[in-house]
Structure 1
Amino acid sequence: MSVETRRGTMTDTLQAPDVGAPRLAAYNARRIGFAAGVAAAAIMLLAIVLLRLLSGVMSLPEVVAEGLLMLLPGVLFSAVLDSLQHAAKPLFYLAVGIGILIVGGLFGRWYADRPGWGQVLRLVLGVWLVFGIGVYTILGAGLFGQHLQAGVLWHAVSLLIVIGVFGIALYHAYAALVHRALPSEPDHTRRLLLRNAAVGIVATVGAGSLWRLLSGEGASTFAAPPVASGTGALSAATPNPPPFDLKGLATEVTPAADFYTVSKNFIDPAVAVGGWRLKIGGLVDRPMELTYEQLTALPASEGYYTLMCISNEIGGDLWGNAYWRGVKLKYLLEQAGVHADAFKAVFSAADDYRDSVKLERALHPDALLAWEMNGEALKKEHGFPARLLIPGIYGMKNVKWLNGINIVADDFRGFWQNQGWDDAAPYQTESRIDVPRFRESIPVGPLSLAGVAYAGDRGIQSVEVSTDGGRTWQPAEVKPGLSPYSWQLWRADVQVDRSAKDVRVRATDGQGHPQTREVNPPFPSGATGYHTVTIAVA
């Protein structure tokens, strides 16, 4: 054998040994398949977002995210929420999105074993059935989303469309990556890519638009401006009266733009007036269905109500006070004729959120179904077209985007209660220091403290402050609330010297019960403890 032949054999052996050639080819194919799967999953996510925006219906990532939240222990969820605060929801949905990309990559590896349209068809149908029958059911959405408001037909079709987009994208992404790796291989997919991309876009846009049209959501989102009630309510721009006009103290009426918002959604629903209906059913004599116009024509009531999120930390900003207008919930339920054996009212929202209260809470004489906030129609983020305001209980019970009230005889547990959060959810007594701010430099001498206090429908009897670590307490001046259900401003003028390291506050509710000193996290019944602000006295 010649030297040249030996050199050729040695070179071939170093580049690709015969025994390893098939394995190396399979490895490269699967690696390319994984990359193609990730790219296809990214395209699918874009189609999901587009379909979500067009239809306004809960999407695959949202079903997965909510299902995982339901399976997550409440203690763990609360710990994550406490640590990440406002970043928790975006990071959670980002994690779900990354998970979808990884799963897409794994499907791409499987596709690479036998690439072609036959494999695409098997993949699409298999994933569609597994998710629709298995994953959706495990996550609580039911068979192809049967427990969700849009129903089986929409979720089955929309799921097939987005998984179909994944399959088409996977085919073309894999072919493109193979052609890039092996330029000698001809690429016959470019014309087919344009055709299939057009099919995917038409299916996605068409399905979303058709659903919005058939569900009556094509009308304008907002109604005509409401007629002014003429009650002389305080404007949100009205400054606090003396002596509560300190800079940094929350205004007594919170502007809608500054009012806290919390929801479980990645994209909050944009409910259109034309397709919206409020349905009242279950254990009632006269089931009702009201349009927005019919609802707002009912006898209106108005008043100041404070809302606070149960996940609010001590000293947090997830609470606010506004002037609301709507119809009394008791009036509606009396018109429907609630049965004597009814136990709870279950409230459903356009985002598939549900919660419940015992019937006596629903029949509270001042429970309000509001359509107006601070003299204007509700903003989308605050629950347009209608939301609940039930005195005495945390915000999670005061359902936004309300579209259904079902009276039941059983003990229904809602979205958060299935995680372990308190079902009764009465407000804890809370007080907050707004002035001074954390680590603010304070000169020796007089110091003005100010903040807000709230105890739900129990009201606030007194507020006290301490500048010596809680050894002694001084009374604060407390402004009467704008209503029995609104927070109250307080102010205290004290003397501080260099020994003062912090200031703290505590309140006593209208029934004489002092604020809980023991520090507890928000889970499961709302945070407790005294708000303390560190200061630097110079």
Structure 2
Amino acid sequence: MADRELRIAAGIVAGGVTLGVAEVVSVLVSPDSTPLQAVGAWIVDHTPDGFREWVIGLVGTNDKLLLFVSMGVVAFVLAGIAGVVERERRPFGSVLFAVFGLLSMLAALGRPNAAWTWALPALLGMIAGILLLRGLIEKITRLDAGAGEDMSVERRQVMRGLLVAGGAALVGGVAGRLIGLRSRDVSAERADVRLPTPSEPEPSVEPGADLRIPGLTPYLTSNSDFYRIDTALTVPQVSKDDWSLRIHGMVDREIRLTYADLAAKTPIERLVTLACVSNPVGGDLISNARWLGYPLKELIEAAGPHPDADMVLSRSVDGFTAGSPLAVLTDGRDAMLAVGMNGEPLPTAHGYPARLVVPGLYGYVSATKWVSELEITRFDRAEAFWTRRGWSAYGPIKTECRIDVPRNHITTPPGKITIAGVAWAQHRGIKGVEIRVDQGDWQPARLAVAPSIDTWVQWSYDWDATASGLHTIWARATDGTGATQTDKQQDVVPDGATGYPSLTVRIG
């Protein structure tokens, strides 16, 4: 193998050792302190909104996996370059490693709740990587000066050594990551949690609420199918024994509630549909579940919020913040500190042990997972994570609908075709849904039973498709106040997408 290729391999192996050592050290510090985790979180915080929404639209909830893979590829490409430019007397590659290590340390120390020890994984990984890189390059440099069969044999030995070191770095890094995650895993604890009994019987889903039309999304979304959009690169693992909720700020008395304290309170159980502001027209970033929790109105009023306060800034253990209108959380709607989802403790990916659920607000201003603080404040004094990035401060959910069946671009013979979907206007309810084929008149669809104004409702319409050719199907919803969704096309930024959902089918 050419010496240049040996240098590239040496850089990649040294880069692998850097990341591997960092992962192992993070077991003793925090899983969030590793270079990939810290740099990835920094990238999430500083990615332009337009690019972020484009990526989500392209890969959906696989955006975090794509980010990790991309960072890994970039890291090893840079490590290979470092191996090429490293010289015995001019350590350009070592400087590149040092720059990466410094940036990683700064990213780690800039994370919420970070301690000085969060710099150690990147620091020690950087030192190990530089030492290995220097040693390997010196060895390769000596090989460059030699010749003959002995040098050829030694090159093969060096290559075998690089492969062994690379494998060891990979195994060490993976083992460090797995040990770190396992040491904080709360899945066994969650499995043993027994949910409290709500004050009223479980909200029933009447048979007429689910039309059970093939291809139509079910009325209730299973926990495994519930959409997940958040800023956490890895799911926080929070033990209920360590969790607490601090209510403070513009209040008469600060309150701190533990999970055990909640046992003395009476929970409620409600059906609520949650929606992401990043959901495009006709998109699937919306789901419906049965939630068990404690009324936020009671928790907040126990702290005595000041009359001039108008905002609740909720904080997650991972540093995410959401700003909710205080009036919305205390106006009597079923806004809650949720601990259960569809009859189970919250899944860790959806906020175990506790999260916020607020009917009528997009998740970015209300649905804080792994919530640890509620700061009572004012909108003119504080900004939340997304509002600092130009999104609307209030985020009320718009009246929208979606067409689930038939599938877009299908070809089907003439005859009766069932058009069906879901519509939502949380905390206002849906009064009606209308369908239009091509430029025809709007026709009323049949609504399923709506168990709650805080959830979506299914609808269907039977179309006698007799004319051959390509046809466009449109839908629009009207909410409980009589307001019909707008046909104005608007992107998700800054407060949610608008427009009529549509699809095309070919008859014949």
For Structure 1 versus Structure 2, the TM-score category normalised by the shorter chain is 0.7 to 0.9
Q: State the 1:330 CA deviation.
A: 1.7
Measured at CA, do residues 56 and 470 of structure 1 come closer, stay the same or move farther in structure 2, by a change above 3 Å?
farther
Candidates 266, 272, 294, aligned match of 1:305: 272
State whether structure 2 residue 402 is matched by structure 1 residue 432: yes
Letter of the structure 2 residue corresponding to residue 248 of structure 1: G
Report the Cα distance in structure 2 between the residues aligned to 1:271 and 1:464, rounded to whole angstroms: 45
The whole-number CA distance in structure 1 between the counterparts of 2:181 and 2:405 is 53
Q: Using the alignment, how far apart are the partners of 1:402 and 1:508 within structure 2?
A: 34
8 A Cα contact 1:244 1:450, kept in partner: no
Seen in structure 2, the aligned counterparts of structure 1 residues 86 and 123 have a Cα distance that, compared at 3 Å, is: closer
Report what 2:126 is aligned to: 163
| Structure 1 residues 205-216: aligned runs within 5 Å | none
SS in 2 for 1:399: coil
Single out whichever of 38-47 and 346-355 deviates more from structure 2: 38-47
1:476 is displaced (CA, Å) by 1.0
Q: Which residue of 1 aligns with 2:393?
A: 423
- Deviation string, structure 1 residues 188-232 (Cα, Å, up to 9, x no partner): 9x8xx99xx89x969x959x869968xx98993555232454724
1:377 CA displacement = 0.4
CA contact (8 A) 2:22 2:124 kept: no
Matching residue's letter, 2:396: P
Q: Deviations over 1:474-529 (max 9, x none)?
A: 10122342222111111222322124613221111222221111222222222212
Matched, 1:334 2:301: yes
Map 1:15-414; keep pairs closer than 5 Å: 33-48=7-22, 55-57=30-32, 59-108=34-83, 111-114=86-89, 128-129=101-102, 131-133=104-106, 136=107, 144-145=109-110, 147-149=111-113, 151-171=114-134, 173-174=136-137, 184=151, 220=189, 222-227=191-196, 229=198, 231-234=201-204, 240-241=207-208, 244-365=211-332, 366-397=334-365, 398-409=367-378, 410-414=380-384
**Alpha-carbon offset, residue 388 of structure 1:** 0.8
Pairwise CA distance, 1:385: 0.8
How far apart, CA to CA, are the structure 1 residues paired with 2:309 and 2:119? 35
RMSD: 3.8
Q: Cα distance, 1:303 vs. partner?
A: 0.5
Matches of 1:326 and 1:242, distance apart in 2: 23
Question: CA separation of 1:386/1:178 partners in 2, compared to 1, >3 Å: closer, same or farther?
Answer: farther
Evaluate the alpha carbon distance shift between residue 107 and residue 291 of structure 1 in structure 2; reply closer, same or farther with a 3 A threshold: farther
User: Number of residue pairs matched?
Assistant: 486
Deviations 1:232-252 (A, max 9, x none): 4347xx9x5388232222221
List per-residue Cα deviations over 1:300-347 (Å, max 9, x = no partner).
Answer: 112111011111122221111111010111211122222334342221
Code of the aligned partner of 1:160: L
Unpaired runs of 5+ residues, structure 2, are none
TM-score w.r.t. structure 2 length?
A: 0.83
Cα 1:210–1:452, aligned 2, differ >3 Å: closer, same or farther? closer
Distance 1:94 1:346 in 2: 33
1:488 aligns with 2:488: no
Which residue identity lines up with residue 465 of structure 2 in the other structure?
Answer: V
Asked if the contact 1:521/1:528 (under 8 Å) is kept, the reply is yes
Q: Give the partner amino acid of 2:375.
A: N
Amino acid corresponding to residue 527 of structure 1 in structure 2: A
User: Aligned pair in 2 of structure 1 residues 211, 315: CA closer, same or farther (>3 Å)?
Assistant: closer
- CA spacing shift, 1:356–1:177, aligned 2, 3 Å: farther
Cα distance between partner residues in 1 of 2:245 and 2:381: 22
In the TM superposition, what whole-angstrom CA distance separates every residue of 1:435-482 from its partner, at most 9, and x where no partner exists?
Answer: 222233433232222211001222211100112x14311101223422
Q: What is the match of residue 7 of structure 1? A: none
Counterpart for residue 475 of structure 1: 444
Q: 1:274 to 1:166 in 2, by over 3 A?
A: farther
Do the aligned partners of 2:88 and 2:141 also contact (CA within 8 Å) in 1? no
Q: Give 1:433 shift.
A: 1.4
In structure 2, relative to structure 1, the CA distance for the partners of 1:126 and 1:252 (3 Å cut) is closer
Identity fraction in percent: 30
User: Does the CA contact (< 8 Å) of 2:209 and 2:458 recur in 1?
Assistant: no
Change in Cα spacing, 1:210 to 1:465, as seen in structure 2 (3 Å) is: closer
Q: Which amino acid aligns with 2:466?
A: D
CA–CA distance in structure 2, aligned partners of residues 283 and 243 of structure 1: 44
Cα distance in 2 for partners of 1:218, 1:515 equals 42
Question: What SS is found at the alignment partner of 1:220?
Answer: helix
In the alignment, the residues of structure 2 paired with residue 504 and residue 123 of structure 1 have an alpha-carbon distance, to the nearest angstrom, of: 55
What letter corresponds to residue 361 of structure 2 in structure 1? Answer: I
Is the contact between residue 356 and residue 371 of structure 2 (CA under 8 Å) also seen in structure 1? yes
Task: Judge which range, 456-465 or 269-278, deviates more.
Answer: 269-278
In structure 1, runs of 5+ residues without a counterpart are: 1-27
Match of 1:466 in 2: 436
Tell which structure's C-alpha radius of gyration is larger.
1
C-alpha displacement of 1:399:
0.9
Deviation of 1:295 (Å): 2.7
Is the contact between residue 73 and residue 420 of structure 1 (CA under 8 Å) also seen in structure 2?
A: no
For the residues of structure 2 that align with 1:168 and 1:496, how far apart are their CA atoms?
A: 73
Q: How far apart are residue 52 of structure 1 and its match?
A: 6.2
* Equivalent of residue 518 in structure 1, options 481, 488, 495: 488
Q: CA–CA distance in 2 between the matches of 1:371 and 1:536?
A: 47
Distance 1:376 1:32, change over 3 A: same
8 Å Cα contact 1:218-1:274 kept in structure 2: no
Equivalent in the alignment of 2:421: 451
Write the letter of the residue equivalent to 1:233: P
Q: Secondary structure at the match of 1:258?
A: coil
Return the alpha-carbon distance in structure 2 between the equivalents of residues 272 and 302 of structure 1.
23
Amino acid at match of 1:148: P
Take 2:417 and 2:432, find their aligned partners in 1: how far apart are those partners?
20
